[in-house]
Amino acid sequence: EVQLLESGGGLVQPGGSLRLSCLGSGFTFSSYTMNWVRQAPGKGLEWLAGISVGGSTVMYADSVKGRFTISRDNAKNTVYLEINNQNAEDTATFYCAAYPMRNQCSTSPSQYTYWGQGTQVTVSS
């Protein structure tokens, strides 16, 4: 059974930081580009970042560039998203998703094969 399991969400104060993790199982994690996507209350999916299999290609949405850092550890089948200097606009459910290409990122969530169930991040004082 394919699973992507996000963790690390929670309540954080404005200006704070979090590191989200996503553990993959049931598929060859090291053959997929991995992505983070979020959905804020009442809004659609927003692609945030993607990382190729070996980490040589990393892409960020302009809205999060400089504050978010994506990384992966294929030995642990895990992709991470570090979020710094958080603000209220970061309140959302964050999802990781797998794209079936090794070295090519896609910013289109409709092309992703596997999705996690999401982890909630709430930014509030």
Q: How high is the pLDDT of residue 58? A: 97
Q: How high is the pLDDT of residue 103? A: 87
Q: How high is the pLDDT of residue 105? A: 87
Alpha carbon distance 116, 23 (integer Å): 9
Cα–Cα distances in angstroms (integers) from residue 83 to residues 20, 32, 94, in the given order: 8, 22, 11
- The rounded average pLDDT for each run of 10 residues, N- to C-terminus, in the chain (125 residues) is 97 96 97 98 97 95 96 98 96 97 90 97 96
